[in-house]
């Protein structure tokens, strides 16, 4: 069941990227990452298998993960998986929350780049 769900979701993400719907792609990626973290945390006993997934933000899941698995997870792709995932989360925050949110009267970094012709 998960396999067919992921096949569908990765197809959506690929189409979103192809059509320039980057926020949709980021949102789908976050959902996949959160789903995998919830599954792993349930296997480790750090989350109850009946957990209400809507009540756990990615940041909260990351905190639980770092507590449950304090030693770095390394492989050929990541020097430290937890740190790489948290860096992705912080970049996601800038993308999602930085579209318009600024100090009153201020321009976003993207808006400034457009105005400067970059």
Task: Give residue-wise pLDDT tens across range 21-57.
Answer: 999 999 999 999 999 999 999 999 999 888 777 788 9
CB 29 within 8 Å of CB 13: yes
* pTM (2 d.p.): 0.79
**What is the extent of the structural domain holding 66?**
2-115
Residue 50 per-residue DSSP state = T
| Residues 33, 40: Cα–Cα separation, whole Å | 11
Residue 16, Cβ neighbours under 10 Å: how many? Answer: 18
| Segment 7-27 mean pLDDT | 95
Closest CA to 69 of 53, 45, 33: 45
Task: Give residue-wise pLDDT tens across range 55-80.
Answer: 889 999 999 999 999 999 999 999 99
CB 34 within 8 Å of CB 58: yes
| Residues 31, 5: Cα–Cα separation, whole Å | 12
**How many structural domains are present in the chain?**
1
Residue 111: pLDDT band by 50, 70, 90 thresholds?
A: low
Q: What is the pLDDT of residue 21?
A: 94
Closest CA to 39 of 54, 57, 25, 53: 53
């Amino acid at each position: 069941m998960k396999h067919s769900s992921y096949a569908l979701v990765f197809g959506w993400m690929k189409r979103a990227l192809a059509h320039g719907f980057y926020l949709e792609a980021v949102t789908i990626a976050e959902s996949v990452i959160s789903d995998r973290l919830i599954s792993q945390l349930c296997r480790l006993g750090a989350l109850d298998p009946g957990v209400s997934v809507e009540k756990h933000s990615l940041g909260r899941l990351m905190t639980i993960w770092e507590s449950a698995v304090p030693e770095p997870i390394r492989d050929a792709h990541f020097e430290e998986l937890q740190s790489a995932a948290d860096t992705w989360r912080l970049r996601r925050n800038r993308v999602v929350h930085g579209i318009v949110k600024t100090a009153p009267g201020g321009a976003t970094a993207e808006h400034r780049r457009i105005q400067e012709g970059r």
